[in-house]
Amino acid sequence: MSSPAVADVTFLQDRVHDPVVRLKQTHQQVFGAAAAILDARAELSLSELATRARIAPSAVSAHFPSVDAMFAQLYLARVYELPLIVDPDADVRTRVGTQLRALTLVLAEEPLLASACARALLRDDDDAVAAIRTRVAAEVRRRTAAALGMGAWPEVMDTCETLFWGALLQVQTRVMSYHAMADRLDTMLSLLLPDSD
């Protein structure tokens, strides 16, 4: 028979050897290194990331086949960290607006990082980025579907997703800031969705 203290220690030891935990730790080290390098300049390489993250270059390359894939994965990680809370008492416009605003503003306070992530996600010549972009799109769809609720027209769902991706493109081309785009998304959603269910 083991004591609760022993059980806790065993659990902690298991987490240290858990490959999912190790993967997340490696990604966090690389993401932190990328943010630090971007503070100094706009370009970086996988070898610089490895040095800054104190990880073997081969390990970084094994996780991220390109710098753009790393930035796309960083964005996906930030999106996954967002809580998905849908207020059932709010109207559909507010519910969808809350989700799209959160997705739009996920990196708004880190403009260099946001720009690098958006640029990476918009690449069309990197298979690794394309795979991550598909996962980002699936998460955007999941959040939009949860906000729209059961029985939403597929065309409305598609339009909401297109609004989000268009917003990302406009911010990347510096037409407007993330905060201005989030406000514009609210305006566009008001034209698309009713203010009550």
The alpha carbon dihedral of 111, 116, 119, 121 has a sign of negative
Q: Is 33 in the same domain as 117?
A: no
123 phi and psi angles, rounded to 5 deg: -65, 140
How distant, in Å, are the alpha carbons of 49, 59, 129, 175, 178 from that of 110?
18, 26, 21, 17, 10
Q: Is residue 71 part of a domain?
A: no
Number of folded domains that form the chain: 2
Amino acid at 91: D
- Could you tell me if residue 87 is inside a domain? yes
Pair (83, 153) in one structural domain: yes
Q: In this structure, is residue 86 part of a structural domain?
A: yes
pLDDT by 10s per residue, the chain, length 197 = 444 444 444 444 455 578 888 888 888 888 777 777 765 555 678 888 888 888 898 988 888 899 899 999 999 999 999 999 999 999 999 999 999 999 999 988 988 888 888 888 888 899 999 999 999 999 999 999 999 998 889 999 999 999 998 888 888 887 788 899 999 999 999 999 977 66
Find the domain containing 147 and state its range.
76-192
Domain match, 177 and 90 both: yes
According to the model, what pLDDT value does residue 84 have? Answer: 93
Residue 70 lies in a domain: no
Q: pLDDT value at position 8?
A: 43
